Structure 1
Amino acid sequence: MAVNKDYYKILGVSKDAPAADIKKAYRKLARQYHPDANKGDVASEEKFKEISEAYDVLSDDKRRKEYDDSRSVFGNGGFRGPTGGAPGGFNFDIGDLLGGLFNRGGGPTTTTGGRSTQARRGADVESEVTLKFSDSIDGATVSLRLTSDTPCSACSGTGAKAGTTPRVCPTCSGTGQVSRNQGGFAFSEPCRDCKGRGLLVDDPCPVCHGSGRAASSRTISARIPAGVRDGQRIRLKGKGASGERGGPAGDLYVVVHVSPHPVFGREDDNLTVSVPVTFPEAVLGAEIQVPTLGGMPVTVKLPPNSQNGRVLRVRGRGVLRKDGTKGDLLVRFEIAVPAEIGEDARTALKKYQEATGNHHPRAELLEAAKGE
């Protein structure tokens, strides 16, 4: 993250936006600017990288706090001492002061022409996958087709035509960064001449046109952990785009979509299921066979005089938690009314109605309605 970037503005959210709003804004923008949806559009690709960078910081509570604190101190010119500059009346490079905080994953430096150039971390890549409900509960290994930037194979990532070599940028001396004075502080920003690469290409590679990067498609296997939720964003470290000049690869973020199950649902770490029962079973009590996800049915004892919608809990038949324990299976019993009944059943029901004539289930409801 960089102190001179407004990540909230990039995602179009307020500075006090809750995590859910930040996630919603990111997903909307990511779909709009994803490289797969804008093939060959360099501007959209850069916008996608910027969006991913902003979300990577704001979705992490610790990094978001560090970013907010740093912006409040340095975002508008920083401290001002008696001379109008930095404390003590001297100037210093804020990039050097906060290098450890704002250059995470920047990687080591390499030497070109006797000068060091900063390695660059690869871009983060995002993909989506749709899982069956059972796979989201048990976990699954999926194949993902990814499109991302990699070093150009024609020039080995140098950006220069075969037989030539790039030269060190004289503006930034190969660092890829230049300092900009503001309020007594020197803020580092990418060099405009070399676009942060630290190198200039006089005779560009005809394949990548001097960028040193090329779009590449690859298929990887990714393990989706057990218990993943619909809409959850999983980070796979180092599975994104390759870095430059020895820099580390970016990360892969996989957004998981879960298909609904015809029988089971989910509430937090619990599975849910609705089981129909007859009226006599609800009144007299019964032992009911209840299905479980991926296993044999279990027998649940329904107590006598159970009301419609009663929920009973089967321990340990839910979703696997991070601590190794499992949630429960919540069984909701619903009284099923037959579409048709025979004459004997009708006669029996009339006798039951006569035998329970003193029971008025709506009396309390009607009385309570009069009170207001």
Structure 2
Amino acid sequence: MSKRDYYETLGVSKGASADEIKKGYRKKAKELHPDRNSDNPNAEAQFKEANEAYDVLKDPEKKAAYDRYGHAAFENGMGGAGRGHHPGQGNGDFASAFSDVFDDLFGDFMGGRAGGQARSRAQRGSDLRYNLRVSLEEAFSGLQKTITVPTSVGCGTCNGTGAEGGAEPVTCPTCSGMGKVRAQQGFFTVERTCPTCSGVGQMVKNPCADCGGAGRLEKERSLSVNIPAGVETGTRIRLSGEGEAGLRGGPSGDLYIFIDVQEHALFERDGVNLYCRVPVSMVSASLGGDIEVPTIDGGRSRVKIPSGSQSGRQMRLRGKGMPSLRGNQSGDMFIELAVETPVNLTSRQKELLREFDDIAVDNNPQNDSFFNKVKTFWDSMKS
């Protein structure tokens, strides 16, 4: 039985480039792999046929011989085979061909190819998070605060190398510094993290007695942090290089401080604006007058209440709110009136209120308007 043309086997034209040949083989390798074609008894043979074709066409010398003589180039010891074996013999040829596209097929899943270079022994330290609660007054004025952070710091005994006396690590003999090892499993070449060096690519012969070879120690560290005025809940402050120390001399991570501003007993915050709900007596709301209200800076402001004020009425104090975190402007403070109904009335007070109610004319505009609408509603329902 005559063999199929190698180009036809890979589904490419005779003038295909090396990249096109490689892409054709990748496609066929995925399409014809026996694991994906358990119901096709010919899948394995077709898979090997594609491997044989690629083993020849990927090699410039073999490809040139095949283009000139066809399959005869590799029969009867004719020159051009170039490597002393028939292209279709053994599994070694398959492993050679398939390993060329292994990283393309599975590189992302396995973490990418090593690229022929040793992985760095140093690893960057982890970033750390610290939650800091501040009062509204502290958020208004800003502050300098000292915090204690449990973290990893570089070992001073070995200068972060992890080796006794600060000696440099040696190349891992198992993976030759690659950090990964490859093993042949049937048709597949499987790449795994080196079990000897755990993927670092280097080893410490004599680990430091203090840090056990890690190059860092667990320790609490005190830091002075500047909290700017105007911070809000959720504000994130980044301190570069103040996170966990790197492994074996690697760079330190960062420290992220997340601000949580506590609720206040008097003020409610909305961005840069503040709201303060102030209770006023029925008499003050009716006759008008002045009241004194607190401000977030610890001061006092006098506010004039117009006569006839109702609950919910707001008055603005410009510039008495929170400072803007970005810029020199400040928000406003809004005073919201809450008119109180008198309680615990004496007999005389009740008598006076009844007298007032008897002579009250047009003193309750909202009351009169509401019940006029109610009367209109009921009349419309009757009709």
TM-score normalised according to structure 2 size: 0.58
2:161 corresponds to: 158
1:327 corresponds to: 331
1:349 matched to 2:291? The reply is no
SS in 1 for 2:120: strand
* Structure 1 unmatched runs, 5+: 1-79, 103-113, 181-187
Query: CA–CA distance in 2 between the matches of 1:129 and 1:194?
Result: 39
2:301 to 294, 298, 303: 298
Kindly indicate whether the alpha-carbon contact (under 8 Å) linking 2:216 and 2:246 is maintained by their aligned counterparts in 1.
Answer: no
Deviations 1:109-137 (A, max 9, x none): xxxxx978364322111222221221022
* Structure 2 unmatched runs, 5+: 1-21, 28-57, 59-99, 184-190
**What letter is aligned with 1:355?**
I
Query: CA–CA distance in 1 between the matches of 2:375 and 2:120?
Result: 82
Identity %: 33
Deviations 1:198-256 (A, max 9, x none): 32123333333332222121111111222222344432222212235664321111232
Query: CA–CA distance in 1 between the matches of 2:151 and 2:272?
Result: 35
Query: CA–CA distance in 1 between the matches of 2:179 and 2:308?
Result: 76
Query: CA–CA distance in 2 between the matches of 1:177 and 1:251?
Result: 29
SS in 1 for 2:217: strand
1:340 matched to 2:344? The reply is yes
Give 1 or 2 for the bigger CA radius of gyration: 2
1:137 matched to 2:140? The reply is yes
**What letter is aligned with 1:306?**
S
1:363 matched to 2:371? The reply is yes
2:26 corresponds to: 84
2:276 corresponds to: 273
Aligned residue runs from structure 1 range 48-59, under 5 A: none
User: Are the structure 2 counterparts of residues 311 and 151 from structure 1 closer, same or farther at C-alpha, using a change threshold of 3 Å?
Assistant: same
Query: CA–CA distance in 2 between the matches of 1:192 and 1:364?
Result: 87
Query: CA–CA distance in 1 between the matches of 2:149 and 2:360?
Result: 68
Query: CA–CA distance in 2 between the matches of 1:160 and 1:351?
Result: 95
1:326 is displaced (CA, Å) by 1.0
User: Are the structure 2 counterparts of residues 141 and 368 from structure 1 closer, same or farther at C-alpha, using a change threshold of 3 Å?
Assistant: farther
1:185 corresponds to: none
Query: CA–CA distance in 1 between the matches of 2:372 and 2:234?
Result: 44
User: Are the structure 2 counterparts of residues 131 and 178 from structure 1 closer, same or farther at C-alpha, using a change threshold of 3 Å?
Assistant: farther
Query: CA–CA distance in 1 between the matches of 2:280 and 2:292?
Result: 10
SS in 2 for 1:117: coil
2:213 to 204, 210, 214: 210
**What letter is aligned with 2:273?**
N
Kindly indicate whether the alpha-carbon contact (under 8 Å) linking 2:319 and 2:331 is maintained by their aligned counterparts in 1.
Answer: yes
User: Are the structure 2 counterparts of residues 151 and 246 from structure 1 closer, same or farther at C-alpha, using a change threshold of 3 Å?
Assistant: closer
SS in 2 for 1:134: helix
2:63 corresponds to: none
Kindly indicate whether the alpha-carbon contact (under 8 Å) linking 1:231 and 1:257 is maintained by their aligned counterparts in 2.
Answer: yes
User: What is the CA RMSD across the aligned residues, in angstroms?
Assistant: 4.1
Kindly indicate whether the alpha-carbon contact (under 8 Å) linking 2:274 and 2:322 is maintained by their aligned counterparts in 1.
Answer: yes
**What letter is aligned with 2:258?**
V
1:287 corresponds to: 290
**What letter is aligned with 1:84?**
R
Q: How many residues align?
A: 270
1:240 corresponds to: 243
User: Are the structure 2 counterparts of residues 324 and 364 from structure 1 closer, same or farther at C-alpha, using a change threshold of 3 Å?
Assistant: farther
Query: CA–CA distance in 2 between the matches of 1:313 and 1:178?
Result: 71
1:341 is displaced (CA, Å) by 4.0
Kindly indicate whether the alpha-carbon contact (under 8 Å) linking 1:127 and 1:253 is maintained by their aligned counterparts in 2.
Answer: yes
Query: CA–CA distance in 1 between the matches of 2:192 and 2:239?
Result: 28
Query: CA–CA distance in 2 between the matches of 1:242 and 1:292?
Result: 44
Kindly indicate whether the alpha-carbon contact (under 8 Å) linking 2:285 and 2:309 is maintained by their aligned counterparts in 1.
Answer: yes
Kindly indicate whether the alpha-carbon contact (under 8 Å) linking 1:123 and 1:241 is maintained by their aligned counterparts in 2.
Answer: yes
User: Are the structure 2 counterparts of residues 126 and 196 from structure 1 closer, same or farther at C-alpha, using a change threshold of 3 Å?
Assistant: farther
**What letter is aligned with 1:332?**
E
Deviations 1:80-132 (A, max 9, x none): 954437xxx986989xxx9xxx9xxxxxxxxxxx9783643221112222212
Deviations 1:244-298 (A, max 9, x none): 5664321111232333322122112211111111213222333332211124212
Kindly indicate whether the alpha-carbon contact (under 8 Å) linking 1:132 and 1:258 is maintained by their aligned counterparts in 2.
Answer: yes
1:309 matched to 2:312? The reply is yes
1:124 to 127, 140, 143: 127
Aligned residue runs from structure 1 range 92-131, under 5 A: 117=120, 119-131=122-134
TM-score normalised according to structure 1 size: 0.60
Query: CA–CA distance in 1 between the matches of 2:179 and 2:372?
Result: 78
1:15 corresponds to: none
Query: CA–CA distance in 2 between the matches of 1:299 and 1:234?
Result: 37
**What letter is aligned with 2:288?**
G
SS in 2 for 1:229: coil
1:249 corresponds to: 252
Kindly indicate whether the alpha-carbon contact (under 8 Å) linking 1:118 and 1:175 is maintained by their aligned counterparts in 2.
Answer: no
